[in-house]
């Protein structure tokens, strides 16, 4: 019997087909069967900085960024196995901001893995986060890959004790260029936990570490920095395939240190300049990185976005979904032993907007 196609179902199916057809080919995953580790896809949303104004009012621009990322994640096909939220859901750690963030994130149709950022932490020292959202240090295994989540935004006790109120502590940590700031750290307790967690993982198991701050040192005045990064790197050094994914820097940034690949996630709220464009202090911005385009403030979603990550043979291929620019793709180059941009890595191919000064 022939099924009758109603106008409604035709429009519905047609729209579905159109949505599928408009997705980039990079999203099509090839299944390799039973190899270990298996290939899979997940998504990464980070740094939304939802800002409470008063009552039920929030900064419209930043709400829009997170809502757009959530909507696009829901359209992903094939579906991601999970979505990572990379930290800084709130701007000043307020309950209103975190609850507002949870409400927007609740529209996601996929399970979420949470990473805490300093803007979520320094008001109540992570209490709301741990009560209502997630643990801050944990690990899980997924299709042959071992994932580790760290709280990398801790800092020295002496700095913590400096402030009269939690609000004062929070606003001092929230200011990126604060001369009275304090460097991030993972801390001995978590490093000990990490050693224990990895003790029973075989050295050829791919490891993906997710932290809010970069687990290496780029620019201390803006806290693009983790003070005890070398200690964490040392724990990760015996493993063959290690990728660290982090937020915080609001820009395309990647590096390779020994066996560890580092890749930054975009912010959904606003971009940050590269430290090279602040000329008063020296920086250690990785030479490997091909910069994102300089942001055009007249397009408020420019230089913001999110990422689709394909795990391929234990290595990450990172599709930066950039809302006002051409997408960028980072792929691990086995010959070079480092991640490369699939289009712009060759200096001859770079374009004028990628120059930052």
Burial degree of 328 (CB within 10 A; 0-12, 13-18, 19+):
buried
Q: What is the smallest separation between the CB atom of 314 and other proteins, expressed in angstroms?
A: 36
Residue 306: exposure state from Cβ atoms within 10 A (0-12, 13-18, ≥19): buried
Binding mask 174-193 toward other proteins (x if CB under 8 A, else -) reads -xxx----------------
298 near other proteins (CB under 8 A): yes
SS3 289: coil
Candidates 20-28, 120-128, 152-160, 272-280 — which segment interacts with other proteins by CB under 8 A?
272-280
Cβ contacts of 261 within 8 Å, gap of 6 or more: 242, 243, 244, 254, 255, 315, 316, 332, 338, 339
The closest alpha carbon to 146, from 234, 240, 80, belongs to 240
Please select the residue that binds other proteins; options are 10, 75, 156, 278, rule is CB under 8 A.
278
Under the criterion CB under 8 A, does residue 357 sit at the interface with other proteins?
A: yes
| Residue 120 binds other proteins (CB under 8 A) | no
Interface residue with other proteins, options 11, 15, 53, 107 (CB under 8 A): 53
Of residues 62 and 128, the one with the C-beta less far from other proteins: 62
Is 77 near other proteins (CB under 8 A)?
A: no
Binding segment for other proteins (CB under 8 A), chosen from 20-28, 47-55, 121-129, 228-236, is 47-55
Binding flag, residue 237, other proteins (CB under 8 A): no
Could you tell me which residues come within 8 angstroms of residue 246 by beta carbon, excluding any fewer than 6 positions away? 86, 152, 210, 211, 212, 213, 214, 215, 262, 263, 264, 265
Measured distance CA(125)–CA(118) in Å, rounded: 9
Nearer to other proteins, 240 or 281 (CB): 281
Stretch that binds other proteins, among 15-23, 75-83, 143-151, 277-285 (CB under 8 A): 277-285
Burial class (CB in 10 A: 0-12, 13-18, 19+), 259: middle
With CB under 8 A as the contact rule, the residue among 279, 334, 347, 348 that binds other proteins is 279
- Tell me the three state secondary structure of residue 264: strand
Who's near 36: CB < 8 A, 6+ residues apart? 144
Q: Considering only the stretches 13-21, 145-153, 270-278, 326-334, report the one whose residues sit in contact with other proteins under the rule CB under 8 A.
A: 270-278
> Cis before residue 145, ω within 30 degrees of 0?
no
Does 9 engage in binding with other proteins (CB under 8 A)? no
Residues in binding contact with other proteins, number by CB under 8 A: 29
Among positions 18, 164, 280, 347, the unique one binding other proteins when judged by CB under 8 A? 280
Which residue of 217, 294, 331, 350 would you call a contact of other proteins, by CB under 8 A? 294
355 three-class SS: coil
Q: How far is the CB of 259 from other proteins (least distance, A)?
A: 32
Q: Does 55 bind other proteins (CB under 8 A)?
A: no
The binder of other proteins chosen from 86, 126, 187, 271 (CB under 8 A): 271
| DSSP H or E stretch at residue 242 | strand 242-246
Residue 70 has a CB neighbour count (10 Å cut-off) of: 22
Q: Least Å distance between CB 175 and other proteins?
A: 6
- Could you identify the residue written with the tokens 């299944």? 31
Q: Report the interface residues with other proteins, using CB under 8 A.
A: 49, 51-53, 59-61, 175-177, 221-222, 270-273, 275, 277-280, 294-298, 300, 356-357
């Amino acid at each position: 019997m022939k099924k009758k196609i109603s106008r409604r179902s035709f429009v519905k199916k047609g729209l579905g087909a159109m949505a599928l057809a408009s997705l980039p080919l990079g999203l099509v995953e090839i299944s390799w069967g039973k190899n270990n580790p298996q290939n899979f896809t997940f998504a990464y949303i980070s740094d939304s900085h939802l800002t409470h104004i008063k009552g039920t009012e929030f900064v419209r621009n930043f709400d829009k960024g997170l809502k757009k990322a959530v909507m696009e994640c829901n359209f992903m096909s094939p579906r991601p196995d999970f979505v990572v939220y990379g930290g800084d859901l709130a701007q000043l750690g307020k309950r209103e901001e975190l609850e507002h963030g949870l409400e927007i994130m609740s529209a996601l149709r996929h399970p979420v893995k949470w990473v805490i950022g300093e803007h979520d932490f320094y008001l109540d020292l992570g209490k709301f986060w741990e009560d209502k959202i997630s643990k801050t240090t944990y690990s899980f295994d997924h299709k042959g890959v071992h994932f580790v989540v760290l709280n990398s935004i801790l800092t020295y006790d002496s700095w913590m004790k400096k402030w009269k109120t939690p609000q004062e502590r929070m606003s001092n940590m929230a200011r990126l260029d604060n001369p009275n700031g304090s460097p991030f750290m993972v801390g001995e307790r978590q490093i000990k936990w990490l050693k224990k967690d990895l003790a029973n993982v075989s050295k050829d198991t791919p490891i993906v570490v997710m932290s809010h701050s970069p687990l290496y040192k780029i620019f201390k005045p803006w806290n693009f920095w983790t003070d005890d990064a070398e200690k964490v790197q040392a724990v990760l050094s015996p493993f063959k395939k290690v990728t660290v994914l982090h937020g915080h820097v609001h820009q395309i940034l990647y590096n390779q240190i020994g066996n560890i690949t580092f890749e930054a996630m975009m912010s959904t709220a606003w971009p940050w300049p590269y430290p090279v464009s602040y000329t008063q202090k020296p920086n250690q911005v990785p030479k490997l990185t091909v910069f994102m385009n300089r942001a055009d403030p007249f397009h408020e979603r420019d230089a913001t976005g999110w990422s689709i990550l394909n795990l391929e043979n234990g290595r990450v291929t990172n599709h930066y979904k950039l809302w006002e620019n051409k997408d960028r793709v980072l792929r691990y180059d086995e010959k070079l032993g480092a991640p490369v941009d699939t289009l712009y890595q060759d200096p001859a191919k770079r374009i004028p907007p990628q120059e930052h000064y």
